[in-house]
Chain A
Amino acid sequence: MRALFPLAILALPLLAQHGRYLSDSNNPAIGDPVAIAAGTKLFMGSCAGCHGPDGGGGARGPNLVRRSLWHPLSDDAIFQVVRKGVPGTDMPPTKLADDQTWNLVAFIHSLTGPASSNPVPGDPAVGKAVFWGAKAGCGNCHAIRGQGGSMGPDLSNVGGSRPLAVIREGIVEPAKDLYYLGNEAATVVFKNGQTLRGVAKNRSNYSIQLVDTTGVLHLLQMNDVKSLTLSASTPMPTDFATRLSKAELRDLLAYLAAQDTRAADAKGSPQ
């Protein structure tokens, strides 16, 4: 049996962290492109050696994006960590001025906050064509604002709910660990000989809630089921890192980063 359980737990911190970024700190550096740029510079100089250039982890320091999934920190707490370090570990204290420290916090916030709230490189309009095009075929499985398939999670709010690095991982390393109950590709054979294929949104030993390949929900009782076949790995294709060019991936990410149910009304998102 695959490790469904720990992965289900991962979904919780993801949810928990969303609330954090908006209500947290009123420091003007947060979300300010100039402060983030200054913070990036500082990070490259003092922190990247341990945490990697994009905070993605290195030999002596953890991946800060992943860490925020299980150890979410408020902006103020990040400030304190940067200032005081983490005693007893390699994470050193710093002697930076307050505004410099806030610039660093703004940078870390931009790494770990929802992708839509940060500047993202790439052309969303080109990314849109990639998403809906035949080469990637994302739209066959994923829906955005009512268009697209239902075999994968809805991505209408992916930019409003996930850090950019997490979206990228979801695409290029889908098998890593974002595979949890609710996305299993399933084939049901009933005792009466009928067959049904789709995604098991939920299941137990007694019932199964399945969305078929046409997007229709079926509520089934296991007493009616003869056998159930489930995909042993994520249904999400695992070859996008090679199938797509660097530019295609960057633009695709820019498009997904803009998918935010709340930004749409203010800015108008590319759909």
Chain B
Amino acid sequence: MKLLLSLLLTLAASAQVRHEDVAQSPGTDWLTYAGSYNGWRYSPLSQINAATAKNIVPKWVYHVPGARGLRSSPLVYQGVLYITSGNSIHAVDARSGRLVWQYADPRAKEAGPNRGAAIWADKVYFTTSDNYLTALNRHTGAVIFSKKFADVEKGTTSTSAPVIAKGKVIVGSAGGDGGMRGFVMALSADTGAELWKAYTVPAKGEKGAETWGNLLEWGGGAAWLSGTYDPELNTLFWTTGNPWPDYNGSVRMGDNLYTCSLLALDLDTGKMKWYFQFTPHDTHDWDAQSWPILVDTEINGLPRKAVLHANRNGFFYALDRVTGEFLRATQLIDKITWAKGIDDKGRPLMLPNSEPTPQGNWVCPSVKGATNWMGQSYNPGTGLLYVLTLEQCGMYYRSSQEPQPMKNFSGGGATEEGGQVILRAFDPKTGKRVWEYPMTGLGRMWTGTVSTAGNVLFSGDDDGHFVALDAKTGKNLWHFNIGETLGASPITYSVDGKQYVAIASASAVYSFGLFEPASGVEAPVIQFKTN
């Protein structure tokens, strides 16, 4: 114990988060939204494993003041856990759950959710809903800078966790359902200054503009989920959202590039290396916001640097991440009524009568999609990719009302009914399902997964349980009823040689670990001194 303590003291004094640290993450810490640049949400920790999972108990709960629908996945560095809520960030002792500091920006002009923080050198970063990148001293919470990077007046808000690579803070843009022009941006980690900005919808006259009508300027293509990064290729992989107006495609004839796509961007310049569009001319609000997961594996018998992507439109894609070449698509879910498959170029083979109509059209998957932004996990040990899927259909309506940007009008609407969440394990080599874990609930969750070298897969379920499954077989090992809708993805970390698994519920952060008999704490000797 003594030894550990002095260790902790010296470590804390010297530590700065460097590029190498994030590139090697996660170890005992969890340094970026998905745990690692490749988007795996996988941890080498194995103290909690398929054999010991039966001894998992809650260690602490931190109630985030005022929080109602947390979407945030925490970061952990040097024993401190950082969790964001709308326009606020909280630093919590990762062993005890005690608050260290918090920072709130109550004057923000929007009150949206927030998906998480980023950490670099000795600063933690998060964005406010109205597009300020705020950097704080990680020890004290003191403000280093707070810099506006986009105008909320132009329909853009911010919800995603920044990703930091080589001193560049990559942020995206939300708001695509109300008319805006999506972008991905790089800001300096030292000053917040803009380094580059890559629009996801071309400007008039640019290549790709011919795939639109007149709504180019408000075309959407929001980038509201963080992306992944390949240090070797120096390439960012970022997904884009739906074209606007969402449900009325007649006013924007064409493919509507680069919406519902995956973009490969050069980290240094923001230049697009390639793009791949999953859903050309989308009319079902099927944003491509789910993780582009970077895996080197064999596909169709050839070794590939692949990027895997489970899309909201119902298909599970594999692309070559060097060239953007389409390699394969399989069905993510069973019920798909709008396309009968994906052709060998990667375009959907459309089925008739799938468009939204004034009376409503019944289409599968529903507007929520076959999956969504829920954190997926790739486990190199089992070689499986874990995806929360939703078997659900819904009604899609179209209105021909003249679309006006930022009037909260999306050219129609959609409702979803019933449905079931099923956690599925896929083999990236074949694109086929290996096992599945059906859940009870109302299809309302947005929670995700984390998997470990201990062969455990942690996930939230659709009625408020936190569960541990055997990562090889999908067999349930343990569950805990949190009793609130889960809308964020779990992480795992270790302090003092003890492994923890943490997840945000709607209102609080829960941290779990293995059972240990309690040892009483002596009443501290406290003196008060007048200075």
Q: Taking beta carbons and an 8 Å cutoff, which residues of A are in contact with B?
A: 2, 15, 18-19, 22, 143, 145-146, 150, 154, 156-157, 160, 185, 190-192, 194, 196, 201-202, 204-207, 209, 211, 214-233, 235, 261-262, 264-265
Contacts and interface: CB of A to CB of B under 8 A. Distances in A.
A185 B107 CA distance: 31
Contact of A228 (B96, B107, B521, B525): B525
B530 interface: yes
Contacts of B6: 192, 194
B523 interface: yes
20 contacts: A18-B107, A22-B109, A145-B143, A150-B137, A192-B5, A192-B6, A202-B100, A209-B100, A217-B100, A218-B8, A220-B5, A221-B96, A223-B521, A224-B5, A228-B524, A228-B525, A231-B528, A235-B531, A261-B143, A264-B146
B302 interface: no
> Of residues B104, B140, B144, B528, which shows the largest number of chain A Cβ atoms within 10 Å of its Cβ?
B140
Contacts of A205: 521, 523-524
B100 A201 contact: yes
B353 to A, nearest CB: 46
B139 A262 contact: no
A223 B95 CA distance: 14
Interface in B17-31: none
Contacts of B96: 204, 206-207, 219, 221
B424 to A, nearest CB: 39
A209 B93 contact: yes
A265 B5 contact: no
Interface in B93-143: 93-96, 98-101, 104-107, 109, 132, 134, 137-143
A227 B529 CA distance: 13
Contacts of A194: 6, 9
B304 to A, nearest CB: 44
Contacts of A154: 137, 140-143
B102 to A, nearest CB: 10
Given A18-B106, A207-B93, A228-B527, A222 B100 contact: no
Given A156-B143, A262-B146, A216 B107 contact: no
A215 B148 CA distance: 27
B445 to A, nearest CB: 30
Contacts of B80: 217, 219
Contacts, number: 148
A216 B139 contact: yes
A181 B145 CA distance: 26
B142 A150 contact: yes
B143 A225 contact: no
Contacts of B145: 145-146
Interface-central residue, B1, B107, B138, B146, by most chain A CB under 10 Å = B107
A190 B531 CA distance: 22
A231 B531 CA distance: 6
Say whether chain A's binding surface is mostly helix, strand, loop, or mixed.
mixed
B401 interface: no
A151 to B, nearest CB: 10
B359 interface: no
Contacts of A206: 96, 521
A17 B12 CA distance: 36
Contacts of A215: 137, 139-140
A227 B140 contact: no
Contacts of B527: 227-230
A196 to B, nearest CB: 8
B233 interface: no
A165 B515 CA distance: 52
Contacts of A150: 137, 139-140, 142
Interface in B506-531: 519, 521-531
B345 interface: no
Given A154-B140, A215-B139, 11 more contacts: A19-B107, A154-B142, A201-B101, A205-B524, A219-B94, A223-B521, A223-B522, A224-B2, A228-B527, A231-B529, A233-B531
A217 B140 contact: yes
Top-6 shortest CB links A-B = A154-B142, A156-B143, A217-B139, A261-B146, A232-B528, A146-B144
Contacts of A18: 106-107
A115 to B, nearest CB: 13
Contacts of A157: 143
B139 A19 contact: no
Contacts of B147: 265
A126 B5 CA distance: 46
B530 A218 contact: no
A228 B106 contact: no
A162 to B, nearest CB: 13
Contacts of A146: 137, 142-145
A213 to B, nearest CB: 12
Contacts of B139: 150, 211, 215-217
Contacts of B438: none
A65 B5 CA distance: 46
B3 to A, nearest CB: 9
Nearest to A148: B142
Given A209-B98, A224-B1, A230 B526 contact: yes
A230 B525 CA distance: 11
A202 B99 contact: yes
Contacts of A220: 5
